[in-house]
């Protein structure tokens, strides 16, 4: 069987969460950019302002200052979509696996133990998915054992007569079922 690499083309799995993540990232990026830009801009012009005032006329210095402001603003504006896309891609590495895990747990609640969670190597929460898969397999195996014991008891009861010695075998099967069920913590 070929091991094909899976690509995810649908990056907005949980739009509300991912958009919130993108907005928080953008606000944080904007604050840091504004503080850094202001610090560099203010420091540069306070240090060079007096020296440049002697070289350039004041009108020329103001126009240079305005060009620098506009370039800083444009670069910040151009970075916004890039940061938004990066935040969506990064949040997808978290939201995608969480979405798969939620769907799997809903299946388990519906008593469907037939599938496993499959995550990509780059996804977060792989260890949690593996633990869920192992626990699901363990429950599945115990259910299979329980079903086999129930089937055995049914067949013994069908073939047993009231005076038959199969009562002891039936009692052993019931004790086996009780042991299997006692492995589960239910309270």
Regarding whether 129 and 51 lie in a shared domain, the answer is no
pLDDT, mean of residues 42-57: 74
Say if pTM beats, i.e. exceeds, 0.85: no
Q: Quick one: which of 86, 111, 70, 112 has its CA closest to 11?
A: 86
Looking at the structure, tell me whether residues 97 and 177 fall in a common domain: no
Identify whether residues 82 and 133 lie together within a single domain: no
Angle between helices 58-109 and 15-55 (to 10 degrees): 170
93: domain range? 12-111
CA distance 68 to 48: 14
Q: What is the pLDDT of residues 18-32, one digit of tens each?
A: 888 878 888 888 788
Q: What is the pLDDT of residues 59-95, one digit of tens each?
A: 777 787 788 778 878 887 888 888 888 888 878 778 8
Whole-number pLDDT of residue 8: 56
User: Of 76, 111, 146, which residue is a domain's last?
Assistant: 111
Confirm whether 119 is domain-assigned. no
Query: Angle at which helices 126-159 and 58-109 pack, to 10 degrees?
Result: 10
To which H or E segment does residue 94 belong? helix 58-109
Number of domains within the chain:
2
Q: Are residues 96 and 51 in the same domain?
A: yes
Q: How many CB atoms lie within 10 A of CB 28?
A: 12
pLDDT higher than threshold 70 for residue 4 = no
Give the position of tokens 């083309």: 9
Statement to judge: residues 23 and 71 lie in one domain? yes
């Amino acid at each position: 069987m070929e091991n094909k690499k899976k690509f995810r083309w649908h990056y907005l799995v949980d739009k509300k969460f991912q958009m919130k993540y993108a907005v928080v990232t953008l606000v944080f990026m904007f604050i840091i950019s504004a503080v850094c830009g202001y610090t560099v801009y203010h420091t540069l012009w306070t240090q060079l302002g007096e020296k440049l005032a002697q070289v350039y006329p004041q009108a020329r210095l103001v126009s240079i200052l305005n060009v620098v402001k506009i370039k800083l603003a444009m670069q910040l504006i151009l970075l916004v979509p890039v940061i938004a896309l990066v935040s969506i891609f990064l949040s997808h590495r978290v939201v995608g696996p969480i979405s798969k895990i939620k769907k799997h747990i809903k299946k388990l609640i519906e008593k469907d133990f037939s599938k496993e969670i499959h995550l990509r190597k780059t996804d977060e929460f792989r260890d949690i998915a593996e633990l869920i898969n192992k626990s699901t397999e363990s429950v599945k195996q115990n259910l299979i054992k329980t079903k086999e014991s129930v089937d055995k008891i049914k067949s013994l009861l069908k073939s047993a007569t009231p005076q038959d010695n199969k009562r002891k075998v039936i009692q052993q099967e019931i004790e086996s079922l009780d042991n299997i069920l006692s492995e589960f913590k239910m309270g």
